[in-house]
Amino acid sequence: MKQTTPAAMPPCFEKWCKRFDDVFTHKAQKREFRHYLGGLLGESERKNLFQMAEDAIGVTYHRLHHFLTEAPWSGLKINERRLEIMDRCSQTKISRGFSLIIDDSGHRKSGNFTAGVGRQYIGEIGKTDNGIVVVTTHLYDGRKSLPLDIELYQHSSSLREGKQDSEFEKKPELALKLIDKTIERKYQPGIVIVDAGYGNNTSFLLELENRRLKYLGGLAKNRKVTITYKDNIQQTIRLDELAQSLPQEDFSEVELHLDKPKQLWVVAKEIEISQLVGKRMIAIVMNAATFSQATDIDYFITNVPSSITTPKWIVDTYGSRNWVEVFYREAKGWLGLKEYQVRDKRSLIRHFILVFCAYTFILWHQMTGGLRRRWANKTLNTFPEALEAFRTAISFRFFDWLTFNRDVFAAYKASLGFIWA
């Protein structure tokens, strides 16, 4: 049920929130932190400030709004504490060699008064529209998928001086800032995975190499590369033309395992590319055995040695990027990542980080087994299953609270204009 009360939150929720208490300076901030996270994790269909306050007995809109927009607390410190909590536990520790996924995600937003809003490409709808885009770094280590950092991309049309504005930064510049944050924490990614929006940017790849990072990124089909044949003859050719010219026997069949198995045909070639000194490996991945039959063709570049970049390694490694899409789907669908009633940049970032906290709370308890032992009779393999177990706990404790507080609940309903009988 969507109605609840802070008094019905399970003890594990309070223990989690106490880990953040010293980051806040006032008792009211600690209280509203719990109320906001409880609202994100609850069963309300909408996760905006008004709806979260409306559905929780003892929570008021103006206090919640003040906490998000005016109260003097640091979203960055909250995010750092969240990652410290994960890193302290042996079951959730951030291990070396993980995949660091760089991605951006957008959602529609009407009007033109919200920070960063502008007419730009929105990935979730697959076209250009008025909306907001964020750039994120994401960790995947084979066991867990965890958001690390987030930045708001401010479209030039949302800034007073456009692209000349001092606050304007391109997405690759924001991505490099987030990568540097990861490195400063002494986290050591095994590889950085990016899509063609970043992989096709040579300056961005050079910055990764300057940081001594390995990468696997997408390329545009019209990107030109120089390939050397056996008789030392070199040819500069577009990637799509190269793919079309290769014989079928050059491609290896590889099975990709995501939601369901998928057959792919892959070839890896050593090439040279303008502005990058030395040789790099590129890969052509098709969903059919021949170029003419394929309806989906992807191109990749990596600075990983050729001895490692087998067709299977390329498919499996880039396939881990799917986990960031899973995260966005869960954070938007279950936790209200794109639902907010604020306009300024600081409040937007705070909302995003609080969603990260709610997501990490469920992930931490899923991996440590607490929700499974107390509130489920089956293994909790996915985020929605673990979230449902936690919501079961809230419902159980709310009905228990209701038994002794019927008059409080009746007064709450009456304040909304309803009679409860």
Report pLDDT digits (tens) over 367-388.
998 888 888 888 898 999 999 9
> Which of these three, 281, 307, 333, is where a domain ends?
307
Q: Looking at residue 301, what is its pLDDT? A: 97
Q: Looking at residue 302, what is its pLDDT? A: 97
> Which of these three, 251, 286, 307, is where a domain ends?
307
Q: Looking at residue 25, what is its pLDDT? A: 92
Asked, for residue 207, whether it belongs to a domain, the answer is no
- 222 and 300 assigned to the same domain: yes
- 280 and 347 assigned to the same domain: no
- 235 and 298 assigned to the same domain: yes
- 278 and 227 assigned to the same domain: yes
Q: Please identify which residue in the block is written with the tokens 């907001």.
A: 132
Asked, for residue 43, whether it belongs to a domain, the answer is yes
- 234 and 300 assigned to the same domain: yes
Q: String of b and e for 223-244 (b: at least 16 CB within 10 Å)? A: bebebeeeeeeeeebebbebbe
- 240 and 287 assigned to the same domain: yes
Q: Looking at residue 407, what is its pLDDT? A: 79
Instruction: Tell me how far apart the alpha carbons of residues 390 and 41 are, in angstroms, rounded to a whole number.
Output: 8
Asked, for residue 220, whether it belongs to a domain, the answer is yes
Asked, for residue 123, whether it belongs to a domain, the answer is no
Asked, for residue 404, whether it belongs to a domain, the answer is yes
Q: String of b and e for 179-203 (b: at least 16 CB within 10 Å)? A: bebbeeeebebebbbbbbbbbbbee
- 303 and 348 assigned to the same domain: no
Decide: helix, strand or coil at residue 393. helix
Asked, for residue 242, whether it belongs to a domain, the answer is yes
Asked, for residue 32, whether it belongs to a domain, the answer is yes
Structure tokens at 4: 């609840």
- 223 and 301 assigned to the same domain: yes
Q: Looking at residue 421, what is its pLDDT? A: 59
Q: Looking at residue 113, what is its pLDDT? A: 85
Asked, for residue 21, whether it belongs to a domain, the answer is yes
> Which of these three, 253, 287, 307, is where a domain ends?
307
| Residue 224 DSSP code | E
Q: Looking at residue 116, what is its pLDDT? A: 87
> Which of the residues in the chain have pLDDT under 70?
1, 420-421
Containing structural domain, residue 222:
216-307
Q: Looking at residue 1, what is its pLDDT? A: 58
Q: Looking at residue 375, what is its pLDDT? A: 85
Q: Looking at residue 353, what is its pLDDT? A: 97
CA distances from 26 to 22, 34, 66, 67 (A): 9, 13, 13, 11
When divided into structural domains, the chain yields a total of 2
Instruction: Tell me how far apart the alpha carbons of residues 149 and 320 are, in angstroms, rounded to a whole number.
Output: 18
| Residue 164 DSSP code | G
- 224 and 299 assigned to the same domain: yes
